[in-house]
């Protein structure tokens, strides 16, 4: 069964990577992220990401596609919005299939009046209307896992990230919007733009309980979610309940890993390259084992039972939902 990883950041086409993709019959939907320091040690400036992803999609259309983004607002630049829209239209012409908006909207970027710029700010309306007119969906990574606003404990699936990225850990920080406020802003975008098709990355930042995700899917027919970087959040929930969720919303959940390429395999020596590709293989294999088998499994140190999804549901989750929500994939 051919598979689409609908959320990844992997800008390379080393032959060893291409062989792995061929082995799993896997294609990658690369997502641009408008990063700034201190995250930029991992990701290149976003226009460089876009160039890389576009070139890969042109060189290997059966293995790569890409999602663009737009510059963060420049409040003192009256041409900002025209440039942002022109950039999106240019990227769609060049093959980009969607647009991403990242968590720095709502949690980092401030307006001239000192307030956080929220995703439902009227500023973004022309961009969302442009996406609707262009027939392109919006991928949102708004907010963070709920753990971001809770005390950091080692048993939490997100302990590793927040211990390494304390600048994003919001517990006790009353000067930042709450998880609830950020979710309300995102919901408000769905309400304001009912024709906008939105995919909520990372289980829509509602990763701690599939029932909470289900409530959003019920409320907003123009909303779907990807599971990228949230496998462990599923693993720690009751497998029978998660399985029911996947069966009930089998048209609204997209497979993705959110693997971030640390170094291009093509620049590594043979040993390190093989290790990088093997790590990628292991990531896919643990996902496949969880979704496909109904066996007892240990995933990232946690014992769980695989979901054993039927082939018809796997086909939607692995491929056709991504094709339906990202037209052109
Ligand atoms: Zn990502």
Mean pLDDT of the region 29-52: 83
78 CA to centre of ligand 1 in angstroms:
30
| CATH architecture designation of domain 3-325 | Alpha-Beta Barrel (3.20)
If you average pLDDT over every residue of the chain, what do you get? 96
- Rounded to whole angstroms, how far apart are CA atoms 10 and 104? 21
- pLDDT (0 to 100) of residue 39: 57
Q: Which residue has the higher pLDDT, 311 or 37?
A: 311
DSSP string, 229-288: T-HHHHHTS-HHHHHHHHHHTTTSEE-----B-SS-GGGS-HHHHHHHHHHHHHHHHHHH
CB atoms within 10 A of CB 329: 18
- pLDDT (0 to 100) of residue 8: 98
- pLDDT (0 to 100) of residue 168: 85
- pLDDT (0 to 100) of residue 53: 98
Whether the pLDDT of residue 184 is over 70: the answer is: yes
The pLDDT tens digits of the residues spanning 104-143 come to 999 999 999 999 999 999 999 999 999 999 999 999 999 9
What are the extents of the domains in the chain?
3-325
| CA-based nearest residue to 2, from 29, 28, 26, 30 | 26
243 CA to centre of ligand 1 in angstroms:
24
Residues with CB under 5 A from ligand 1 (ion): 258
Whether the pLDDT of residue 37 is over 90: the answer is: no
The pLDDT tens digits of the residues spanning 138-167 come to 999 999 999 999 999 988 889 988 998 888
69 CA to centre of ligand 1 in angstroms:
12
Whether the pLDDT of residue 41 is over 80: the answer is: no
238 CA to centre of ligand 1 in angstroms:
25
The pLDDT tens digits of the residues spanning 193-252 come to 999 999 999 999 999 999 999 999 999 999 999 999 999 999 999 999 999 999 999 999
259 CA to centre of ligand 1 in angstroms:
7
183 CA to centre of ligand 1 in angstroms:
18
Whether the pLDDT of residue 318 is over 80: the answer is: yes
- pLDDT (0 to 100) of residue 42: 64
């Amino acid at each position: 069964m051919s598979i689409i990883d609908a959320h990844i950041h992997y800008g390379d086409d080393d032959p060893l990577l291409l062989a792995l993709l061929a082995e799993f019959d896997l294609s990658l939907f690369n997502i641009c992220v408008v990063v700034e320091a201190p995250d930029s040690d991992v990701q290149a400036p976003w226009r460089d990401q876009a160039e890389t992803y576009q070139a890969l999609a042109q060189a290997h259309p059966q293995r790569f596609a890409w999602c663009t983004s737009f510059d963060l607002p420049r409040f003192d630049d009256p041409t900002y919005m025209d440039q942002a829209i022109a950039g999106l239209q240019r990227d769609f012409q060049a093959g980009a299939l969607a647009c991403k908006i990242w968590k720095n909207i709502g949690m980092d970027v401030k307006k001239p009046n000192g307030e956080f710029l929220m995703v439902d700010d009227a500023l973004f309306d022309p961009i969302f209307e442009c996406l609707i007119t262009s027939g392109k969906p919006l991928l949102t990574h708004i907010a963070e896992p709920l753990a971001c606003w809770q005390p950091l404990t080692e048993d939490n699936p997100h302990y590793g990230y927040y211990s390494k990225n304390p600048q994003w850990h919001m517990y006790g920080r009353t000067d930042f919007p709450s998880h609830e406020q950020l979710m309300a802003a995102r919901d408000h975008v769905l309400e304001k733009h009912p024709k906008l098709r939105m995919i909520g990355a990372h289980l829509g930042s509602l990763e701690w309980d599939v029932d909470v995700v289900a409530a959003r899917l019920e409320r907003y027919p123009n909303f779907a979610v990807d599971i990228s970087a949230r496998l462990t959040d599923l693993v720690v929930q009751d497998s029978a309940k998660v399985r029911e969720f996947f069966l009930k919303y089998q048209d609204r959940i997209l497979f993705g890993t959110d693997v971030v390429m640390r170094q291009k395999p093509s620049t590594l020596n043979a040993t390190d390259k093989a290790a990088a590709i093997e790590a990628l293989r292991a990531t896919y294999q643990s996902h496949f084992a969880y979704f496909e088998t109904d066996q007892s499994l240990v995933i990232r140190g946690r014992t769980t039972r695989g979901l054993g999804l039927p082939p018809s549901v796997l086909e939607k989750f692995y491929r056709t939902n991504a094709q339906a929500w990202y037209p052109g994939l």
